[in-house]
Amino acid sequence: MKPNTSKQKVIDAASSLFFQKGFHGTSVRDIAERASVNVSLISYYFKGKQGLLEYAVSYYYEAYLKAIEETLLETEQLSALDQLKELISTIIHYKQMHHQFSCFIHRELSLDSVFVREMAVTYLAKENFYVSKAFEAVIRVNKKTDPEERSFLLMQFKGMLTTPYILHNEWKNQVVGQYSHRQFAEKYVKSIHHWIDFAAKEPADKTASS
């Protein structure tokens, strides 16, 4: 079956406009003009702007979680540390590949946006489960920390996975074009990997320094 190019054009246009103007600041007419389609086509496919948003969020997260699950399955024979590093690469490359919509979703979630949170809650719970489980497997094996310290490290780790998409203005001059997006993702993944290596190190023996 051939992909529906008109439908994809609408989704791409909406992603761009939601990123630039926000959901409430974007009209159906804006989306139709950007996608070069008739307004009625959006009603036909999505039943309006709200339906389009719901479809786009579902499409984004279902593909995202599928990529995470496939990575975990393909790397299950690796060490916990190597599996986590592969997972980090998958997450950042996916978010960077869908940069504008990633920024839109994270911005709305950071504002505690009800309409996005209610749609994404199931997906977010699943994402949190996978990410937390993979991270904690590394910390439990490689670092003797108390539960409170582990929770702080996990919070920092999750922050690194979302920061480029919440503070995207910090990077806008560095990321232009698909090649640049790939370069940024690769460099940022390496940076998180370095942090993981440091966080996973066994603490120095306190008795040795006393």
Range of the domain at 82: 56-203
Nearest-5° angle of CA 199, CA 61, CA 13? Answer: 120
Rounded to whole angstroms, the Cα distance separating 170 from 177 reads: 16
pLDDT at 166: 87
Of the residues 12, 29, 47, the one at which a domain ends: 47
Please state, as a whole number, how many other Cβ atoms lie within 10 Å of the Cβ of residue 99: 20
Q: Are residues 33 and 75 in the same domain?
A: no
Q: Is there a single domain that holds both residue 23 and residue 103?
A: no
CATH code of the domain containing 14: 1.10.10.60
The average pLDDT across 186-190 equals 95
User: Is there a contact between 34 and 17 (Cβ–Cβ < 8 Å)?
Assistant: yes
Residue 209 in any domain: the answer is no
114-123 long-range CB contacts below 8 Å, 24 or more apart? Answer: 115/23, 115/50, 115/53, 116/53, 116/57, 119/53, 119/54, 119/57, 119/58, 120/57, 120/61, 123/57, 123/61, 123/62, 123/64, 123/65
Task: Give the model's confidence band at 210: pLDDT under 50 very low, under 70 low, under 90 confident, else very high.
Answer: very low
What pTM was computed for the model?
A: 0.85
208 within domain boundaries:
no
Assess if residue 210 is contained within a domain.
no
Summarised one tens digit per residue, pLDDT across range 113-164 is 676 677 778 899 999 999 999 999 998 765 656 778 888 899 999 999 999 9
Q: Does 60 lie in the same domain as 32?
A: no
Which tens digit of pLDDT belongs to each residue from 55-112? 999 999 999 999 999 999 999 999 999 999 999 999 999 999 999 899 998 888 877 6
Helix (H), strand (E), coil (C) string for 90-138 = HHHHHHHHCHHHHHHHHHHHHCCCHHHHHHHHHHHHHHHHHHHHHHHHH
Indicate whether 70 and 38 sit together in one domain: no
Shared domain check, 176 and 134: yes
Determine the Cα–Cα distance for residues 21 and 11; give it in Å rounded to an integer: 15
Q: Considering its fold, how many domains does the chain have in total?
A: 2
Domain containing 155 — which CATH number? 1.10.357
- Which residues, 6+ apart, have CB-to-CB distance to 22 below 8 Å? 104
- Whether 121 is covered by a domain: the verdict is yes
| Residue in this structure with the two tokens 């690194």, named with its chain if needed | 160
Is the domain of 153 the same as that of 87? yes
